[in-house]
Structure 1
Amino acid sequence: MSDNLIERISTALEAEYTLEGLVRQLLEMLELVTNMESTYLTRLEQDGSQQHILFSRNSRLMQIPEGLTVPWGDTLCKRAMDEGRRYTSDVPGIWGDSKAAKALGITTYVSTPVMLADGSLYGTLCAASSEKCELSERSEQVLQLFAQLIAQQIQNEQLLKQLQLANAALMTSSYTDDLTGLPNRRAVFDKLPQLFSRAERDARYVLVAFADLDDFKQINDVYGHDTGDEFLCAIGERLKEGVRYDEILGRVGGDEFIIAGAGPTDFAKAQHAAKTLKTRLSSMLTGDYQLHATMIKYAGPSIGVIAINPADMTPDTALRAADEAMYQDKKNRRK
């Protein structure tokens, strides 16, 4: 039995990657070792008010349902911990005033706390029966071992979750412009190939706009870099509010921004859509900007917008073409 139990534990640890999967296997083994009707894992609320039955195994008449919630103060788990009594085969005689124990018909009960590495109490690992059952020292040792294994799995999952959150935050940071909160150059260049691939599949044109903030250097020189940064943030806000949900938006340089999206399937309509996009962006970014220290009447940026067939151009060549169109617009605005 010992060799078989050790083999089953080893198999479970190798095969199960979730808390639920591991616990369910351990509860089944715990039932065999203790010969109890029900085995279960509980979780204690952080404020210590309630206890929840997280997972349970009921092999005979006694039914301890998963999801059951009881006041922590009325539980056998708390009483056992407070009194240093992990096991008893006379629950009615010792804890007869426990409503939860009476409702469940518990006569024999054994539990051990599931303690995390920081010393906090996660919950308890328990076994119970409606009949009197003798518990061997070996069974108690197995119960404590299983509680330690569960605690380790909980900590592993918590660590994994923390790593995932940290990685998500790092990814967000690495793809976000620190000043404006817009996607940065890396984010734009990562999304453009996907846009081109979808557009080519759907036989649609791609609209690419390149906007450069004319006279931005003069704003910095006259009002200072803090005001310049505030102006960039205001530009970013207008873009975030004005672009469509399916359009790619990003700040790709100091005062340069890119907007891209799928266009119509027809060439003439795509060219018209490019002109419409240019008008929309110009109207969006031109006008008065009430900043913290001053009001700036902004004449608008230079904007180059192209409609291209994604089968004929890569994202890189499309951006260069949009950049050239922007410089042509800049020349025309200076005439």
Structure 2
Amino acid sequence: MSEGIEKLAEQVSDASNLEELTQPILDVLQRVTHLESTYVTTIHEHEGVQRILYSRNSGDLQIPEGLQVPWSDTLCKRALNEKRFLTTDVPSVWGDSEAAAALGLKTYLSNPIYTDEGELFGTLCGASANTIDVSDAALEVLALFSRMIGHQASREQLAREATARATAAETRASDMQFVAEIGALCLSGEEPDQVLRAVSQSFKSRRAWQYAAPFQLPEVSPISVGQAVDGIDASHLTTPELLAAEDVPMLPLLIETLNMARFKEGYAPTFLSPKHSGAELRAVAKRSGIGDECELFVLTLAHGTDLMGGVLLISQPGGLDDTEKTMVQSCWQTLTLFAEREVEHEMLEVANAQLTLHARHDPLTGLPNRRYLVEEMHRMLSHAARAGEVVYVAFIDLDGFKKINDQHGHDVGDDFLEAMAHCLKKAARTGDLTARYGGDEFVMVAVNDEPVSEQAQQAIAVRIEQAMSGVLKLPTLTLDYPGPSVGVVSWQGDTIPDADELIAQADKAMYGVKQARRAERS
């Protein structure tokens, strides 16, 4: 069993998707429960169906992956409604179930899987044609596995949503060769002005447009109140900077177009026609040599709600057809895609970092877990062997923790463990490694370049004992804790020892200290 759990821990830490996480879970669950079949389902309530996503079958009972059944009368739905998550006599409890009768089920195990948002994702189940006595410990493992699968499903859903947004924009861009070209320019460009110049050149090659003027909005270049450009009041705007000298005559038209877009659409890209947009725009367009029959569009480059720049597009007389307008809208979406990708990339990195953190750290205390401890100890021992340093391993057992837990409840017990972890971290020095080994046991590893000595071992033990004893102010009560039992061992040499062996030696030393403390109290 322990070998299966250790193997599962390794596979979970390496799992990159739901299937890689689920398959070893089903294997371990089968060993824990002794059921013939273990499987994960997804529930689609809006479709009224339940599907077998992954399954593991070891006997005559076969529950195939991909099987789809109506959700309305499944055993899982009955178990969920009745909160009966373990049934060892299916014929007596659910004798009217045709599916159960057809499979000859006697033992049925089901636990709901919820996403991090609390939505029902599916179930983690086990079944057998025999009567199997499933232990309470196995049920706890089942619940833990359900939460793990729910967390992974949530992470993948976030990843799919982020990917879907990027894919949707990319799909729209790929519908037209020109949009793909604009996308390539955006992806290859390093600076906004470089991208905007390249995009404007691409639009100039299209016969539908007579002008494509790239511009930027400098971060600090406000127009003074009351100042006007060619008669256009722009006191509320930052002065746009046209990137091509030949486009400077278009500055008044750009400002007026931005002015109208700002108040009408909040800078969202919109097509404007001088003929249908009022006297001011018609007058500015006329002074700029643009006729009433043209259409204007500001292809904006934005990050969040900040307008960074864009390209002022002016169509040929006669306006634009719907296909060209759709293409322009797609180009605008492509122009902002690189910013969206950056944000989504950061989101994915955060999600991956959290997955790694959870796999290597204790969720309650935040300390490295047992797996991480052993890995890091191997690195520290290797370095110490090369450098001739001494490695000290302290094993800490929180005496009296069970009594605290039983007397005050698990919430106080958790608060106590968190407080002890904090005290241990305070006792550690730069370069020391602290970890939660399991339950009420902790480990600290320290490296010293001074000769090994009993005094150094004792000093480490005293430092830890003093840091982890005394009055503790927990959120709901105050405890006067007499301190833990601490055993310390040391190692120095050329041959790197096994980390688990050193920990076991420290554990043995701790046990000796614990026995001595008990003798003193008696």
In the superposition, relative to structure 1, how do residues 316 and 287 fare at CA in structure 2: closer, same or farther (>3 Å)?
A: same
The residue type equivalent to 1:268 in the other structure is V
Superposed, 1:25-64 pairs within 5 Å as: 25=195, 27-34=197-204, 38-40=213-215, 58-60=243-245
Does structure 2 conserve the Cα–Cα contact (< 8 Å) formed by 1:77 and 1:124? no
Matched, 1:229 2:229: no
Which position in structure 2 is the counterpart of 1:255?
440
Which position in structure 2 is the counterpart of 1:94?
280
Residue from 349, 367, 374 that aligns with 1:189: 374
Structure 1, unaligned runs of 5 or more: 1-5, 44-49, 64-70, 99-105
Instruction: Identify the range of structure 1 (192-201 vs 135-144) with the bigger mean alpha-carbon deviation.
Output: 135-144
In the superposition, relative to structure 1, how do residues 279 and 53 fare at CA in structure 2: closer, same or farther (>3 Å)?
A: farther
**Distance (Å, rounded) in 1 between the aligned partners of 2:354 and 2:237:** 33
Which position in structure 2 is the counterpart of 1:164?
349
In the superposition, relative to structure 1, how do residues 190 and 278 fare at CA in structure 2: closer, same or farther (>3 Å)?
A: same
Task: Name the SS for the 1:297 alignment partner.
Answer: strand
Does structure 2 conserve the Cα–Cα contact (< 8 Å) formed by 1:113 and 1:121? no
Matched, 1:282 2:465: yes
In the superposition, relative to structure 1, how do residues 304 and 123 fare at CA in structure 2: closer, same or farther (>3 Å)?
A: same
In the superposition, relative to structure 1, how do residues 28 and 243 fare at CA in structure 2: closer, same or farther (>3 Å)?
A: same
Task: Name the SS for the 1:31 alignment partner.
Answer: helix
Matched, 1:111 2:281: no
Displacement of 1:95 in angstroms is 5.2
Task: Name the SS for the 1:252 alignment partner.
Answer: strand
**Distance (Å, rounded) in 1 between the aligned partners of 2:383 and 2:474:** 40
Matched, 1:314 2:502: no
**Distance (Å, rounded) in 2 between the aligned partners of 1:73 and 1:10:** 27
Q: Which has the bigger relative contact order, CA under 8 A and spacing at least 6? A: 1
Deviations 1:193-228 (Å, cap 9, x if unpaired)?
A: 333344344432222211011222233344444433
In the superposition, relative to structure 1, how do residues 216 and 199 fare at CA in structure 2: closer, same or farther (>3 Å)?
A: same
Does structure 1 conserve the Cα–Cα contact (< 8 Å) formed by 2:420 and 2:468? yes
In the superposition, relative to structure 1, how do residues 168 and 40 fare at CA in structure 2: closer, same or farther (>3 Å)?
A: farther
With normalisation by structure 1, the TM-score equals 0.67
Matched, 1:298 2:481: yes
**Distance (Å, rounded) in 2 between the aligned partners of 1:72 and 1:233:** 61
Does structure 1 conserve the Cα–Cα contact (< 8 Å) formed by 2:299 and 2:312? no
**Distance (Å, rounded) in 1 between the aligned partners of 2:197 and 2:273:** 17
Does structure 1 conserve the Cα–Cα contact (< 8 Å) formed by 2:384 and 2:447? yes
**Distance (Å, rounded) in 1 between the aligned partners of 2:353 and 2:390:** 33
**Distance (Å, rounded) in 2 between the aligned partners of 1:179 and 1:286:** 20
Instruction: Identify the range of structure 1 (6-15 vs 20-29) with the bigger mean alpha-carbon deviation.
Output: 6-15
In the superposition, relative to structure 1, how do residues 152 and 161 fare at CA in structure 2: closer, same or farther (>3 Å)?
A: same
**Distance (Å, rounded) in 2 between the aligned partners of 1:268 and 1:151:** 62
Displacement of 1:302 in angstroms is 1.5
Does structure 2 conserve the Cα–Cα contact (< 8 Å) formed by 1:195 and 1:261? no
Matched, 1:207 2:392: yes
**Distance (Å, rounded) in 2 between the aligned partners of 1:72 and 1:256:** 71
**Distance (Å, rounded) in 2 between the aligned partners of 1:192 and 1:72:** 67
Displacement of 1:11 in angstroms is 6.8
Displacement of 1:191 in angstroms is 3.0
Deviations 1:162-186 (Å, cap 9, x if unpaired)?
A: 2222233333334443333433324
Displacement of 1:192 in angstroms is 2.7
Which position in structure 2 is the counterpart of 1:150?
335
Structure 2, unaligned runs of 5 or more: 1-175, 205-209, 219-235, 249-254, 291-295
Displacement of 1:275 in angstroms is 2.5
The residue type equivalent to 1:250 in the other structure is A
Superposed, 1:128-139 pairs within 5 Å as: 128=312, 137=320
In the superposition, relative to structure 1, how do residues 72 and 287 fare at CA in structure 2: closer, same or farther (>3 Å)?
A: farther
Task: Name the SS for the 1:249 alignment partner.
Answer: strand
Residue from 177, 180, 190 that aligns with 2:362: 177
Which position in structure 2 is the counterpart of 1:67?
none
Q: Quote the RMSD (CA, aligned, Å).
A: 4.8
Task: Name the SS for the 1:206 alignment partner.
Answer: strand
